[in-house]
Amino acid sequence: MMGQGSPEVVEGGCHCGAVRYRVTIRKRDAVQCNCSICSKKGFVHLIVREPDFELLRGADALTTYTFGTHTAKHHFCKHCGIHSYYRPRSHPDRIDVNVRCLEGVDPSDFHLSAFDGQHWEENVEELRRRQRESQ
């Protein structure tokens, strides 16, 4: 099983390179969500604590889309349009990194679990419980 050893530190970001970050992966656990926006983005969620995420550059290249409750802050690069990380509604105090935007990391090396975001209210507590045991 991968991800049981020491934490991995990897870099990632958007397509054009304007947005760049470093993230510490403590466990290769990621989530795929079927909600209206995640399914269209193809986002693979790695939810990390604030100290495990460092934005290296690109704060000025980011713009933010919100909808519904406007709790989630869907950041994306205004130059290339890629959503490489954001602040999720389920964990507003954490950072949600798109595993597809991490360098040298293959999403298929992650344990992927499904989140039924089409029924968000009914399932979010289960997601939060799983996250507490993960990162």
Task: Say if CB 102 and CB 30 are below 8 A apart.
Answer: no
Least gap, CB of 22 to Zn ion (angstroms): 17
Find the DSSP H helices in 8-51.
36-41
Binding mask 75-94 for Zn ion (x = CB under 5 A): --x-xx--------------
Least gap, CB of 18 to Zn ion (angstroms): 4
Q: Which residues of 96-121 are buried (b: 16+ CB within 10 A; e: fewer)?
A: bbbbbbbeebebeebeeeebebeebe
Residue 62 binding Zn ion, by CB under 5 A: no
Complex with Zn ion: residue 35 or 99, whichever CB lies closer: 99
- The amino acid sitting at 114 is A
Residue 55 binding Zn ion, by CB under 5 A: no
| Chain residues that interact with Zn ion, rule: CB under 5 A | 14, 16, 18, 77, 79-80
